[in-house]
Amino acid sequence: MLTSCVVLVLFAWLFIWAMSLLKATAMADIVEILPDFVKRSLGDELYLYTTKAGQVSIVFRHLVTLLVCLGWAVAKGSDTVSGEISRGTMEHLLVLPLPRGTLLVVPTVLATIGSALMALSVWVGLVLGLRTVERFSDLSAWQFAPGAVNLFCLSFAMCGLTTLLSSMDHDRWRTIWLAVGVFIIESIIAMVAYVWPAGWWLHWLTFLSAFEPQRLILKPEAAWSLSLGPLGAITWPLAVWYNGVFILLGQVWYGVAWWIFVRRDIPVAQ
């Protein structure tokens, strides 16, 4: 966990420095060569990605950031049940004078704390970059806090999903590949939903539709309305909607994992 946090701090700091080396119009040039369907999917928010804040916000979607944060989530979630069974340590834990369900508490707390620290590490590295790189020194670090919160919520949800898969299996590597496979499928669905104008309804089939750190950073006043027919509509800030989806899913997945774990037979490691 400590190593991952240090890597994220240094990476975010170096990312800000690397972005400062690009010419001011570089992002605008990149946007111009994007395919038309990508421009349509971004809509009126497209120009926001060419601003200095838009350039900095990319760090929350960068492959390195996601690999470290989601790698932690999958690693800790898979270790909770199937990892212990694979190592042959679960049978020793089960003889402790504790309710079986409590064996999920410590891994869950640790995974959640680690996810929060890693999202915080990205933000801390970003703060260091803003303080030391003159080109971005006029930006407020607090403007990027919503992106870090959204990143934490995604990691929390992935921890819950992987723990659920772990609670049903006895092979850790299979659990890892299943979790990675689910994430890849969800990513493909989200990508198609973004680039296919007629496929807007696909957003409802993937929880990754709620991962929008850049939108939360660049459009903090944006809101989402839920129509209730004759009862009117409920309007929520996007931050509440996006982060709430991840927190709710994570809690549901953890709850189902607990229910399965306390009822299943635990095999002896081969």
Domain of residue 63, residue span: 2-211+242-261
- Residue 37 resides in a domain: yes
Give the chain's radius of gyration (CA, Å): 21
Whether residue 246 contacts residue 157, with contact meaning beta carbons closer than 8 Å, is answered with: yes
Beta-carbon-side half-sphere exposure of residue 55 (alpha carbons within 13 Å): 24
How many helices and strands (H and E) does the chain possess?
12, 2
pLDDT class of 220 with cuts at 50, 70, 90 = confident
- Residue 219 resides in a domain: no
- Residue 220 resides in a domain: no
% of the chain surpassing 70 pLDDT = 84
Whether residue 140 contacts residue 230, with contact meaning beta carbons closer than 8 Å, is answered with: no
Report the domain count for the chain. 1
Distance CA 194, CA 189 (A): 9
pLDDT class of 69 with cuts at 50, 70, 90 = very high
- Chain segment 102-145, per-residue pLDDT in tens: 889 999 999 999 999 999 999 999 999 999 998 888 999 999 99
The SS3 assignment for 267 reads coil
Whether residue 167 contacts residue 189, with contact meaning beta carbons closer than 8 Å, is answered with: no
Whether residue 115 contacts residue 72, with contact meaning beta carbons closer than 8 Å, is answered with: yes
With tokens 């809101």, the residue in question is: 223
Q: What is the pLDDT of residue 264?
A: 85
DSSP H helices in 36-104: 36-42, 52-57, 63-78, 84-87, 90-93
- Residue 234 resides in a domain: no
- Mean pLDDT lowest among 22-26, 75-79, 188-192, 231-235: 231-235
Whether residue 41 contacts residue 195, with contact meaning beta carbons closer than 8 Å, is answered with: yes
Q: What is the pLDDT of residue 55?
A: 87
Distance CA 183, CA 162 (A): 10
**Averaged over 233-251, what is the pLDDT?**
87
> What 3 state SS string does 109-173 have?
HHHHHHHHHHHHHHHHHHHHHHHHCHHHCCCCHHHHHHHHHHHHHHHHHHHHHHHHHHHCCCCHH
- Residue 229 resides in a domain: no
Mean of the per-residue pLDDT values for the chain? 87
What type of residue is 87? R
**Averaged over 242-253, what is the pLDDT?**
96
- Residue 86 resides in a domain: yes
Q: How does strand 233-237 pair with strand 223-227?
A: antiparallel
**Averaged over 193-211, what is the pLDDT?**
84
- Residue 180 resides in a domain: yes
Whether residue 233 contacts residue 171, with contact meaning beta carbons closer than 8 Å, is answered with: no
